[in-house]
Amino acid sequence: MSERSAHMSVMTSSAPRVRRMTLRRRRQVAGFLFALPAIALVVGFIGVPIGQAVYYSFTQWNGLTSTWIGPSTWAQAFHNSNLWTALENNALLLLAVPFALGLPLGIAVLLHQRVAGWRIFRSIYFLPTAISWVVLGLVAERFFAYQGTLNSIIHALGFSHVNTNMLGYESTALSALGITFVFTMIGTNTMLFLTGLATLDPSLEEAARIDGAGSWRIFRSITLPHLSRFIQLAFVMTVIALFSALFSLIFVMTGGGPGYATTTMEFLIYQTGFNQGDFGTAALYGLILFVLTGIVGVVQLRLIGSNE
């Protein structure tokens, strides 16, 4: 009798646990069923194209017919000097990222202090964000041209013997592109930093000033740590834009030239596919660009995880 009672007590105590496990399993199944349409869309619009790109990267494809070549297509691609030139240009353009973050951060801090005319300046700095990058590229092309605005300014300052043509030389064309990119990112990053500053508790700054802290100490010890998440987000957005959103600027400013001086990975994909008709190699380059941007995302996740 005692054994039966013990057995019944064990069954009674385990029943709630079984019910909890059953309920958890049902919730998991229900969650999967609700997420299934979204999963199908992701697979259909992202997974399938990526799979096709992987397949075509091993073929010779002219856009209509494809011939299977095999892994040798990758070996040939990595022996192409144009690929390494494009990767080098992307790497050099990364030098513009600190400026694309630092300048908007300084502007946002000044605007947050409500300096005279801060509303007007906020609109001015945000203006490039509301304008197409094609238009900004045309403006930049005219600014850096041999008979453009930059030379007019230099001559007006009294240096009539100085003439620049930054877009006409391989040594300076990439710098002009980087400067234009920084200008295009100022509005977006400034608004992002202003949003972060708006969430900062003013009492923290007031308490620091009462304790005798100066503006630089407040910025370094309070403002900057508070903006760390916003800086991380701006960094990822800026780097991804640098790898995948420069096409319009390059197309209207330099066309990838002189030579391949301003050809980045995304522009090399366009040139290889649409100018040379080699869509198989273009798909391969697209996968390389996809991996590079994926690495940036993984590094960002690691940074966020380490900060937490």
Segment 192-248, tens digit of pLDDT: 998 888 888 888 878 888 878 777 888 888 888 888 889 888 988 898 899 888 999
Which whole-number Å values give the CA distances from 224 to 57, 126, 142, 144, 196, in the listed order? 44, 22, 37, 35, 10
Instruction: Write the pLDDT tens digit of every residue in 254-300.
Output: 999 898 999 999 999 999 999 999 999 999 999 999 998 888 778 77
- Per DSSP, the three-state class of 47 is helix
* Average pLDDT value for residue range 91-99: 93
For 97-133, give the DSSP string: HHHHHHHHHHHHHHHHTT-TTHHHHHHHHHHHHHS-H
Nearest 5 degrees, angle CA 284-CA 286-CA 290?
Answer: 120
For domain 74-307, which architecture applies?
Orthogonal Bundle (1.10)
Could you give the angle at which helices 279-307 and 228-244 cross, rounded to 10 degrees?
170
Q: At residue 246, what is the residue type?
A: L
Q: What is the mean pLDDT of the chain?
A: 85
The whole-angstrom separation of Cα 37 and Cα 24 is 21
* Average pLDDT value for residue range 157-173: 86
Q: At residue 138, what is the residue type?
A: L
**Percent of the chain predicted with pLDDT > 70:** 91
> Greater confidence, 136 or 16?
136
Q: Output DSSP code: residue 94.
A: G
Nearest 5 degrees, angle CA 75-CA 76-CA 80?
Answer: 120
* Boundaries of every domain in the chain: 2-56, 74-307
Instruction: Write the pLDDT tens digit of every residue in 21-69.
Output: 777 888 888 888 888 888 888 888 888 888 999 999 999 998 888 889 9
Q: Decide: pTM greater than 0.75.
A: yes
